[in-house]
């Protein structure tokens, strides 16, 4: 059995039949290929199970190996062991399978179809492949009880996650304590599948929200400013108000018109209506009105360049 998993590219480790403890060390979250090489070496594996570990459980190292180097993520749905009844969001859940069913239902998804093992305690191990892109999935326990919104990769009470740095006991191993086998219950041709999107979202922390755009520095006009500079500052203030208050169908037109007009006035007060100041002030107003940054910048640039090309409505 151990050699079967090795032939598929998954590393294995001998584990105690008493407490499932790994009996060979050397694998960690930060283990490199050299550290993990013995766990995928057929000769070493054969020597372990033909020698002093001949009666050991077969443990599968998760997070490493597998097709194209994609290791395993195993979702372990436990049965309760005398814990307090689940409450709140989890009320009515009597085991890890109920918790996972609830999460799938909340996501509008079906129960995932993948390689599945029935554990001696009556729980389930659902085997998935690590994602092709992005960070690998780590380990988490079902601890946390009635925590409403657990932090990834923790999914919920009575649901453990085994990814990078972890391991699970393979199907075919016999539990002496419970007198039962770890039994595969999925169809014979089913292999570990990619993580469904809804489950991957739960297992990965949400991306940090984008920082809000930094407001531009307020325009300051000194008392010694010339009349044309004061007029330019007024024109800029007026344009900003019109852009940020424009209705949905008028936003882009108002922004283009403002950029073009201020570009035409640029020559009258270049120290006030320089391109950077105009762009920053109009962009901030456009974002407040609901426009996207990319679209707004393109429109501002187009209006400013139109005025300088001499094709603007008021150009000489």
Residues whose CB is less than 8 angstroms from the CB of residue 225 and which lie 6 or more positions away in sequence, other chains included: 233, 272
Query: Can you state the percent helix, strand and coil of the chain, rounding each to 5?
Result: 35, 15, 50
* DSSP H helices in 96-223: 96-106, 197-203
pLDDT at 214: 60
Domain boundaries, the chain: 2-203, 227-308
Which candidate, 272, 31, 294, places its Cα nearest to that of 165?
A: 31
**Torsion 61-65-67-71 (CA) sign:** positive
Name the more confident of 134 and 210: 134
Q: For the segment 255-276, what is each residue's pLDDT rounded down to a tens digit? A: 999 999 999 999 999 989 999 9
Lowest mean pLDDT among 43-52, 68-77, 187-196: 68-77
**C-beta of residue 52 within 8 angstroms of C-beta of residue 114:** no
Q: For the segment 221-239, what is each residue's pLDDT rounded down to a tens digit? A: 767 778 898 899 999 999 9
Could you count the other beta carbons within 10 Å of the beta carbon of residue 13? 24
Residues whose CB is less than 8 angstroms from the CB of residue 268 and which lie 6 or more positions away in sequence, other chains included: 228, 231, 232
Q: What is the Cα–Cα distance from 99 to 77, expressed in whole angstroms?
A: 8
What's the distance, CA 177 to chain centroid?
Answer: 38
Which candidate, 281, 279, 272, 280, places its Cα nearest to that of 302?
A: 279
């Amino acid at each position: 059995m151990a050699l079967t998993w090795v032939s598929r590219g998954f590393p294995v480790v001998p584990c105690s039949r008493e407490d499932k403890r790994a009996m060979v060390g050397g694998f960690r979250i930060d283990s490199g290929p050299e550290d993990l090489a013995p766990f995928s070496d057929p000769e070493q594996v054969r020597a372990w199970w033909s020698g002093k570990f001949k009666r050991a459980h077969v443990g599968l190292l998760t997070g490493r190996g597998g097709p194209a180097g994609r290791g395993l993520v195993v979702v372990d749905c436990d049965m309760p062991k005398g814990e307090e009844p689940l409450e709140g969001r989890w009320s009515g859940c009597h085991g890890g399978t109920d918790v996972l069913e609830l999460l799938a239902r909340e996501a509008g998804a079906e129960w995932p179809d993948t390689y599945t093992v029935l554990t001696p305690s009556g729980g389930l191990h659902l085997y998935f492949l690590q994602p092709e892109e992005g960070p690998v999935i780590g380990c988490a326990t079902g601890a946390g009880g009635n925590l409403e919104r657990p932090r990834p990769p923790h999914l919920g009470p009575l649901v453990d996650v085994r990814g990078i740095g972890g391991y699970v006991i393979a199907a075919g191993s016999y539990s002496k304590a419970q007198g039962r086998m770890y039994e595969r219950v999925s169809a014979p041709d089913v292999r570990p599948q990619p993580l469904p999107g809804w489950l991957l979202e739960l297992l990965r922390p949400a991306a940090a929200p984008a920082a809000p755009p930094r407001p531009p520095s307020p325009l300051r006009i000194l008392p010694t400013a010339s009349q044309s500079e004061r007029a330019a500052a007024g024109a800029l203030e007026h344009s900003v108000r019109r852009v940020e208050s424009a209705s949905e169908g008028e936003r882009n037109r108002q922004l283009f018109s403002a950029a073009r007009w201020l570009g035409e006035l640029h020559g009258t007060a270049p120290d006030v209506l320089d391109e950077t100041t105009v762009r920053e002030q109009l962009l901030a107003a456009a974002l407040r009105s609901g426009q996207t940054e990319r679209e707004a910048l393109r429109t501002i640039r187009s209006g400013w360049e139109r005025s300088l090309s001499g094709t603007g409505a008021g150009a000489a």
